[in-house]
Amino acid sequence: MGALCGLLFFGMSTILEALAVAVLHKGAEIRGEMIDKVQQMATRYPGPDAQRLLDLVKSPGGFTVLMVASLIFGFVAFLVLGSLGGALSAAFLGRHDRP
């Protein structure tokens, strides 16, 4: 039951975010915020790897890969956390054998 709830929440949040991007034209704003976050990370952890990641995010293909990776991570996170929540609630609130 928890995995199903996690799956439904992931689907609803993905659809709502896609509608916000499509209807409200927030795609450029979201991309700019993500690039800013990666630039902040690159300044905190200077090195060639951070610069390569920044260059990758700035390219259109790299941004697409980053978005797909974040969707996959979100899907797995919602599914695992929902499953854990369902298992814990079943353990604590499950049926008890009554005489």
Q: How far apart are CA 14 and CA 71, in angstroms?
A: 8
Helix (H, G, I), strand (E, B) or coil at 38: helix
Rounded to whole angstroms, the Cα distance separating 33 from 42 reads 14
With 0.95 as the threshold, say if the pTM is over it: no
Q: Check residue 53 and give its pLDDT.
A: 78
Q: Is the pLDDT of residue 98 over 80?
A: no
Residues 68-81 pLDDT 10s: 888 899 999 999 99
Render pLDDT for 19-31 as a digit per residue (tens, 0 to 9).
Answer: 877 887 777 887 8
pLDDT at 96 over 70: no
